[in-house]
Each structure stands twice: as structure tokens, then as C-alpha cells.
Amino acid sequence: MNVPGSARLRAPRREVPFHVVLVEPEIPPNTGNAARLCAATGCRLHLVHPLGFSTDDKAVRRAGLDYWHLVDWTSHESFAAFEAARAGQGRRFLFTGKSSRSFLDVKYELGDYLVFGKESVGLPDALVDAYPEETVAIPTLGAVRSLNLANAVALGVYEALRQTGCLDHAELG
């Protein structure tokens, strides 16, 4: 019998199933939530500068991110620097409200890069316009402009994990 709090539902770990890319994030708690999601799922987090906050040890401690040491993350000085580091590895999906293709219509593959823009305006228009075939949107039912960044990341990551079988064979452990 399961005793509440003694075990957690866990799926087998995969080697870096996906990459989460936050382009110029502005709000520390959103990035903290995305970082925690990456730590929980084994995804690698990429932070593209400029950032609206500091990621030094003092700032991380002050924010109470006691799991930050579990996050596999890196930062890039610009989107061009991120692209140079990526060097064509993995496919890229740009999450934007300006796409007519739902993120649910994509067939994700392990190693894909899920790219999200900053909270205030999303991804730069120039980037979205340059790669229209790589854009996807999260459909909404209401009149809001967009979802919270951390929620959008969670939806994208878990849909990709679900599709690729990463959540199969989960057991209490």
C-alpha cells in the first residue's frame, strides 16, 4: 500500500530528451519554474541573453531555487551564439501566438529544441518571419493574448515527452 508522501510517480530517465530555450526571459519566477521543470524531466535549459535578472549564486539563493544545482543549463550571449552552439543539432520549434500550426500537430523527436520568447512580446518578429515552417502555437479557448511563459513551457515539454514515450512505464519509486 502506498503511504502518502513516501513515493513519487517516476518514469525511466532519458539522456537529455529535449532542450528548452528561453529567449530573453524577463521574469525570474517564470525562468525558475521552467528550470524546475527541466530538472524534473532531464531537459537541458538554454537561456539566451539579455536576461531580465541575474543567475549568479547569490541571486539563485535569494530566489529560493534550492534545486538549481539539479538543472542542466547553459547561457548564450545572443540567439546567434545559441545557434552557433546548437550547430544544426536537433530540430527547432518556435512557440509563438503568431502561428497557424498547433503544437499538438507536431511529431516531436528526442533532441528537439523548444524555443520560447520573452514574457512581454514573445519571440522577435524577425525570427518568427525567418522560420515560419518551424513555428507552432498553443491554442487557447478564451480571449487572452497568450499563456504564462512557464505554463507554455510545461505544455510543450510534456506533450513532447508524451509523444516520444518518455512518460511510459512510470512507477512509484
Give the model's pLDDT for residue 69. 84
26-37 pLDDT tens trace: 888 888 889 999
The structural domains of the chain, with segments of one domain joined by +, span 13-172
Give the model's pLDDT for residue 59. 61
Helix ranges (H only) for 56-169 are 57-62, 79-86, 125-130, 149-163
User: What would the grid cell of residue 14 be?
Assistant: 532519458
Bridge partners of residue 95, in order along the sequence: 116, 136
Long-range contacts from 107-113, C-beta under 8 angstroms, 24+ separation:
107/163, 108/18, 108/159, 108/160, 108/163, 108/164, 109/164, 110/14, 110/17, 110/18, 110/164, 110/166, 111/16, 111/17, 111/18, 111/19, 112/18, 112/19, 112/160, 113/18, 113/19, 113/21, 113/46, 113/86
Distance separating alpha carbons of residues 32 and 11, to the nearest angstrom:
22
pLDDT digit of tens for each residue in the chain (173 aa)?
A: 455 667 888 887 878 899 999 999 988 888 888 999 999 999 999 999 988 777 776 666 555 467 778 889 999 999 999 999 999 899 999 999 999 999 999 999 999 999 999 999 999 999 999 999 999 999 999 888 889 999 999 999 999 999 999 988 777 77
Q: Is the pTM of this model over 0.95?
A: no
77-113 pLDDT tens trace: 999 999 999 998 999 999 999 999 999 999 999 999 9
Distance separating alpha carbons of residues 30 and 43, to the nearest angstrom:
16
Give the closest residue to 112 by CA, choosing from 157, 148, 79: 157
Residue 63 and residue 35 in contact, taking contact as beta carbons nearer than 8 Å: no
Q: What is the domain class of 13-172 according to CATH?
A: alpha beta
Give the model's pLDDT for residue 146. 82
